[in-house]
Chains A and B, each alone.
Chain A
């Protein structure tokens, strides 16, 4: 993936660029709004990571707005030290696709970039999803593993659907909270983990190869790969 990082803090930049490199992505970096705007407008990127507050007279949200007005559809993840819900709404309204509050865990950033990239390639709500021998039909809401039907509660279905749409990627607990439950707070106890283990019981318990895996220090992933 080719990624543009617009960020003025050197330490954060170093940390993100290095991490993205290790994950196999190429990263361009701009340290201020002017360079960021120029690069974002002229080069083709898969994902743009945009800091909200930048030195100089062009801030992150302004760049996002200009890019959207000129018809650029590149997925943008907004980074911000402002955590209030209203700031989040403002960020998404200006044309950002996702919003991550600083400080963040690198795993969270990486998972969200992957999700954005996947989303940009289009979500198909109608076609059946398949991971290994696990099948899900979003229309009939039937889930089968091998030839055995699996019965899921509505919320479990939504959880599995989200995981399967991001098959092969890491999905963090925060992403699950936001997208499956529409919750925007930290529930303190490990409730998401409990939901996952319940789901795991239904789809993995009686099968040889587990599909729903825990990724240490990051989240979960549904994958058929070894």
Chain B
């Protein structure tokens, strides 16, 4: 029980409450004791002085009758008076004899004395010696005792209420927490056993557990999606690798069986190598995707110019477009600094332009444009005037290994747009596929570079770059 966090928290608060109460009560108690006791002693001393003066003025007889008068006047017990002679014989006052526990020497004493008809009572006593007489002046504590008692009762009651309430609140909180934690635990263990569809219960209010549950649910969504993705991918791999492997196998088997003429054998071997290359290409694409999905490439983020990147990509594909009589245009207003992975962004952009080249008609146009959005993000778009993508297909084209009807008969393994989407996701943005009637407009939005002045990534090229006397890739050179 003590290990429950709710309970120990409640107990902690109780202890704190008690400490505060004591810190409050202790000075009060001290002030009371010191101040009130002192003023009471003062009153007794003044009394004794007055009696002493009566003795000086009127002698022992005068004092005796004065005391008798006082005793007869007042409420019995409130004030204690006793005058004795040197041999301790009582002369006047309301005590029958000098109390045994009060010394005869002058001073103040808080003790019990036997008052007539009242039995023992606690009282504050002042003793003074006048000539050879002993004078005892006192006041009982009857008025102060209940106050004291009430003070202690009050304090104890406060502590008791605090402790019980704290314990109760702790127990209730613990119960409530345990109920919710229990339901979370049940869900989580269902998930551990493989049922990824469960989600933690959430409420409308935004308390801590609820926020945590929501976050965990978000994580579960992501995990489910990933697991689903992996499942799909492994199915697709099985299918898409099987095809070229089957071709390869039959090709080799045929070679072994037929043993054709050397010329034909070499041609078949070349074909077999091409089959293997196709398998390797699929593998490379999948590995790259896995690498991106794992989020490992975020370390490769540097500050770079989106315009420069897009201009280079457009320039790279321009001759290929020309060959197909497609006009490839590039437009940009100026440099747009973003934070990203240059290798992956170049590949993503390459894939987009490559796709556009596949689908744009003869004499068609492709436009690559970079625009700086108001929040500083770079909006890179690739627009073609090909057949476009139907609404039903839009969500599918980014799926791994999906190949639309329009792609039949074109080379490719159906991973291009998946890679672009994965790259977009890695850069914290989404891939937008917009209708262009006719055609398709793909928009990739990369957030602005937050870190100013991060070092540019060194080129991965093996050979040291030659000194650049001409601004080859510095200016956004629009392709003709």
Contact = CB atoms under 8 A, between A and B. Distances in A.
Interface of A: 83-86, 88-89, 92, 97-99, 103, 105, 115, 119, 123, 125, 138-139, 141, 154-155, 157-158, 161-162, 175, 178-179, 181-191, 194-195, 197-198, 217
B472 A185 contact: no
B165 interface: no
B287 interface: yes
Interface in B308-334: 312, 315-317, 319-320, 322-323
Given A86-B300, A123-B464, A194 B472 contact: no
Nearest to B287: A83
Contacts of A190: 320
Given A125-B466, A185-B350, A89 B320 contact: no
A137 B320 CA distance: 28
Residue of B288, B411, B462 with highest tally of chain A CB at under 10 A? B462
A88 B350 contact: no
A170 to B, nearest CB: 16
Contacts of A103: 276, 280
Contact of A155 (B270, B315, B357): B315
Contacts, number: 106
B463 A119 contact: yes
Given A103-B280, A186-B281, A187-B350, A154 B287 contact: no
Tell me what chain B mostly uses at the interface: helix, strand, loop, or mixed.
helix
Contact of A194 (B323, B467, B473, B477): B323
B470 A141 contact: yes
Interface string B447-479: 000000000000111111011011111000100
A139 B461 CA distance: 21
Contacts of A105: 273, 277
B284 A186 contact: yes
B346 interface: yes
Interface stretch (B82-90, B192-200, B291-299): B291-299
Nearest to A181: B316
Contacts of A162: 463
Given A85-B343, A155-B472, A187 B354 contact: yes
A88 B460 contact: yes
Contact of B346 (A84, A125, A185): A185
A158 B467 CA distance: 11
9 contacts: A84-B291, A84-B296, A125-B467, A178-B461, A179-B461, A183-B346, A185-B347, A189-B354, A195-B319
Contacts of B229: none
A154 B470 contact: yes
Nearest to A158: B472
Contact of A85 (B312, B316, B460): B460
